[in-house]
Amino acid sequence: MISLRYHVVSVTAVFLALAVGVVLGSTAISGRLLSGLTDDNSELGREVAALREGRHAQDARLAEADRFAGAVGPLAVGGQLADRSVVLVTTADAGPDDRDALAELLRASGAEVTGEVQLTDSFADPDKADQLLGMVARLQPAGTRLPTGADPGTRAGALLGSVLLLGPDGKPQAAEAEVEAALSGLASAGFVRQGARVRPAQLAVVLTGGSVSGASAGDRAAVVARFASQLDRAGAGAVLAGGRGSADGTGAVGVVRADTAATSVLSTVDNLDTAAGRVVTVLALREQLDGKAGRYGVAGNAEGAAPVTTG
């Protein structure tokens, strides 16, 4: 007769055999799995290395293209803005090197750069919008009309447009004392910084940085975008130029491009931080003189790399 002890021993042996089988099987499977993972990892490593090599090669080609654009830039813009004048307006995040390179290229085009005004961080600060509106109202030159009930960017653009840009008749829109009072007043309030004596010009370029971030990034970009759009309406034309990334939703260039009314009058360039982009900025200014506007650069919302020039 089979005893209880026999049953216990039998069952124990079965479970022991199962356990041994599972261990041996899992060891074999683990070996194959690890081998497969190792192979996959090696393949991924080769792919990453190939992508990295391709990126380096692409960067090298872009750098070479930018050097070429820098070398031929003065020739490409030569005479485009002969006997014209341009004033520079920069935001706090605009690159000084980009500004200096663009100013040099403007001079190569035959233009006279009449000065620079920098908009500070406070200018686009939503918390200081009411203060800016109050300053604009107090500094308005006699005989000028500012948009009523408008946002601070638009009203400030109208004020600075009246003191920084020449009128349709080629004459200053404000007296010299009024120009000085407006710029000094805004500077004293911390909204602008001005360099040497700034004189009114026919055209304006508003230079900004690349992509922006932060809780109020969109609001700040909107102030700059509306400022540039209004500045354009005050003179013979204007271009808003920013670095790569400025054409996204939180960049000033992107805000303008999302506004059909703004893009119909204000030209935008989204790669100012390249030699090619600076050449395009000068050509876009020339196009403004012909009453045309466009969206230029390398971003997805650009209509082309550069304006089509006829001479």
> pLDDT per residue over 214-230, tens digit each?
778 889 999 999 999 99
CA distance 9 to 178: 108
Q: Who has greater pLDDT, 5 or 202?
A: 202
Q: Is 89 helix (H, G, I), strand (E, B) or coil?
A: strand
Q: Where along the chain do its domains lie? A: 1-77, 80-296
Of all helices (H) and strands (E), which one includes residue 86? Answer: strand 85-90
User: What is the pLDDT at residue 8?
Assistant: 47
Instruction: Indicate if the pLDDT at residue 310 is higher than 60.
Output: no
| Nearest CA-CA partner of 252 in 278, 231, 274, 235 | 231
Instruction: Indicate if the pLDDT at residue 172 is higher than 90.
Output: yes
Q: Who has greater pLDDT, 282 or 216?
A: 282
User: What is the pLDDT at residue 296?
Assistant: 97
User: What is the pLDDT at residue 55?
Assistant: 57
* Beta carbons within 10 angstroms of residue 257's beta carbon: 25
Crossing angle (nearest 10°) for helices 96-108 and 275-289: 50
Supply φ then ψ for residue 30, to 5 degrees: -60, -40
| Nearest CA-CA partner of 298 in 69, 51, 54 | 69
User: What is the pLDDT at residue 51?
Assistant: 66
Q: What average pLDDT score do residues 249-268 get?
A: 94
In order, the DSSP letters of 238-288 are EEEE--TTTTSTTSHHHHHHT-HHHHTT-EEES-TTSHHHHHHHHHHHHHH
Given the structure tokens 């872009």, which residue do they identify? 62
Helical spans, DSSP H, in the chain: 4-77, 96-108, 129-139, 152-164, 176-188, 217-234, 252-257, 260-263, 275-289
CB 255 within 8 A of CB 217: no
CA distance 47 to 164: 55
* Segment 51-83, tens digit of pLDDT: 676 555 554 555 555 665 566 678 889 999 999
Instruction: Indicate if the pLDDT at residue 6 is higher than 70.
Output: no
Instruction: Indicate if the pLDDT at residue 3 is higher than 80.
Output: no
Instruction: Indicate if the pLDDT at residue 279 is higher than 60.
Output: yes
* Banded pLDDT at 195 (limits 50, 70, 90): confident
Q: What average pLDDT score do residues 121-132 get?
A: 96
* Banded pLDDT at 240 (limits 50, 70, 90): very high
User: What is the pLDDT at residue 20?
Assistant: 46
User: What is the pLDDT at residue 9?
Assistant: 47
Q: What average pLDDT score do residues 139-163 get?
A: 90
The per-residue pLDDT of the chain, averaged, comes to 85
Q: What percent of the chain has pLDDT over 90?
A: 65
Contacts of 72 (CB under 8 A, 6+ apart): none
